[in-house]
């Protein structure tokens, strides 16, 4: 294996959606960059996570050359269904959000598509390269120290971008420099399954039932992804397959008499629910993007979309040619993306609380939450506010 590069313009930590999108954008703009990922390629490409893409994310993936398989294989949705109190209500994005369409396309495939582009003609992407130090962030040559194939290496950069997720060195460095992390942990988690069965719905189905929340999503015409709310301390082994299907069936029906198709379960996991907002998103010559800076509860399907939007905004700031202007643009990036993340967090919190039943919720709280859903179903103005926030339109306009 040839020796890894020792210098670059932008050193990016982490080959998740944020790091891969940023590296591709920089490559298309002719900026030299090196992407370091501590896991191996197979692990990164198989990690099950997000699946719902906003229109702006779809557009960006197409623009950077990662749209071909997406357009062929994604399921495009014109709305979502909210089900509660024995009825279903379709939130019609065509009517309420300028015809916006969501794509259901798994994060695994997005990562595979971007890694393939990167290995074809992109800047170097080094797998199993674990970044252990960042130094000289206030100097002229910030440097990454990383371990690869049993040896330590250094990469001198003009800028470092930490796209290394919620537990990475980027976040630790910001906190050590006096940054502030605002956290909220919900008293419930999601029990998630993948099943080899055709989806029983042709849209995303969010259900609030007397027994708790459930979500029916999909990964392809033959693979369903389903979740239901469980107490925060649950472990996957606690549930037998038939009990999972029974629970999903009664919650997703939410009193409507609707029928859920069952099939072999191929994966089970429990996903914690929290929100985390870190500020600032910049320390000297190091900037943060994606989950490194903010984590959202999955209810609003926002994490991946926010990560890719960060990459897009950050690339634009890095491309400013005059150094003093570029520094200002990077400061602005850091400030504006924190504001965007706060907005998304408010929406994700609203949606999470409205759809779930918390242990401390009394009858009055439950009635208030159902009242919110009734308003979305009954008032075109409320439905429009909800739809535009869900598909990311209001955020794009406020930016």
Site residues, ligand FAD (CB under 6 A): 13-19, 36-39, 44, 49-52, 107, 130-131, 163-165, 168-169, 192, 271, 290-291, 298, 301-305, 307
Minimum distance from CB of 295 to ligand FAD (Å)?
Answer: 7
Q: Which of 130/361 has CB closer to ligand FAD?
A: 130
Note the residue count of the chain.
Answer: 399
* Closer residue to ligand FAD (CB): 97 or 304: 304
Whole-number minimum distance, CB 381 to ligand FAD, in Å?
Answer: 26
In the complex with ligand FAD, the residue whose CB is nearer, 266 or 365, is 266
Longest dimension (CA), the chain: 66
How far apart CA 21 and CA 309 sit, in angstroms, is 9
Closest CA to 189 of 269, 264, 250, 267: 269
Is 63 or 368 the residue whose CB approaches ligand FAD more closely? 63
Residue 74 CB, nearest approach to ligand FAD (Å): 13
DSSP tag of 160: E
CA 305 to the chain's CA centroid: 5
Q: How far is the CB of 385 from ligand FAD (least distance, A)?
A: 20
Nearest approach, Cβ of 286 to ligand FAD (angstroms)? 13
Q: Which tokens belong to 350?
A: 């609203």
Side-chain-side CA neighbours of 235 within 13 Å: the count stands at 2
Toward ligand FAD, which CB reaches closer, 263 or 272?
272
CB of 52 to ligand FAD, least distance (A): 4
| Nearer of residues 295 and 372 to ligand FAD, judged by Cβ | 295
CA 85 → CA 132, 208, 377, distances in Å?
Answer: 52, 8, 12
Is 178 in a helix, a strand, or coil? coil
* Closest to 311 measured CA to CA, from 295, 285, 293: 293
């Amino acid at each position: 294996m040839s020796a890894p590069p020792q210098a670059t313009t932008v050193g990016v930590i982490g080959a998740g959606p944020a790091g891969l999108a940023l590296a591709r954008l920089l490559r298309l703009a002719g900026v030299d960059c090196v992407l370091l990922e501590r896991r191996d390629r197979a692990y990164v490409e198989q990690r099950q996570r997000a699946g719902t893409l906003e229109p702006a994310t779809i557009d960006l993936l197409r623009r950077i050359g990662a749209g071909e398989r997406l357009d062929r294989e994604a399921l495009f949705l014109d709305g979502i269904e909210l089900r509660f109190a024995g009825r279903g209500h379709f939130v019609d994005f065509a009517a309420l959000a300028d015809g916006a369409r969501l794509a259901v396309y798994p994060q695994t495939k997005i990562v595979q598509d971007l890694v393939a582009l990167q290995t074809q003609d992109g800047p170097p992407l080094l797998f199993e390269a674990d970044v252990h130090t960042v130094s000289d962030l206030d100097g002229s040559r910030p440097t990454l120290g990383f371990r690869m194939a049993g040896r330590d290496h250094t990469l001198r950069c003009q800028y470092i971008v930490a796209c290394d997720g919620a537990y990475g060195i980027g976040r630790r460095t910001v906190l050590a420099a006096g940054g502030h992390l605002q956290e909220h942990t919900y008293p419930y988690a999601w029990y998630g399954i993948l099943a080899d069965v055709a989806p029983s719905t042709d849209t995303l189905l969010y259900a609030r039932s007397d027994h708790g929340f459930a979500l029916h999503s999909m990964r392809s015409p033959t693979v369903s992804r389903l979740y239901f709310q469980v107490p925060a301390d649950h472990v996957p082994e606690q549930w037998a397959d038939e009990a999972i299907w029974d629970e999903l069936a009664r919650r997703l029906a939410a009193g409507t008499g609707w029928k859920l198709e069952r099939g072999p379960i191929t994966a089970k996991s429990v996903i914690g629910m929290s929100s985390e907002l870190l500020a600032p998103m910049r320390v000297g010559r190091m900037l943060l993007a994606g989950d490194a800076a903010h984590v959202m509860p999955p209810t609003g399907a926002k994490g991946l979309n926010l990560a890719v939007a960060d990459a897009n905004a950050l690339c634009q700031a890095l491309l400013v040619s005059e150094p003093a202007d570029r520094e200002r643009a990077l400061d602005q990036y850091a400030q504006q993306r924190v504001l965007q993340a706060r907005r998304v967090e408010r929406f994700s919190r609203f949606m999470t609380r409205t759809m779930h039943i918390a242990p401390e919720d009394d009858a009055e709280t439950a009635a208030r939450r159902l009242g919110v859903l009734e308003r979305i179903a009954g008032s075109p103005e409320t439905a429009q506010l909800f739809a535009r926030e869900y598909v990311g339109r209001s955020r794009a306009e406020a930016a």
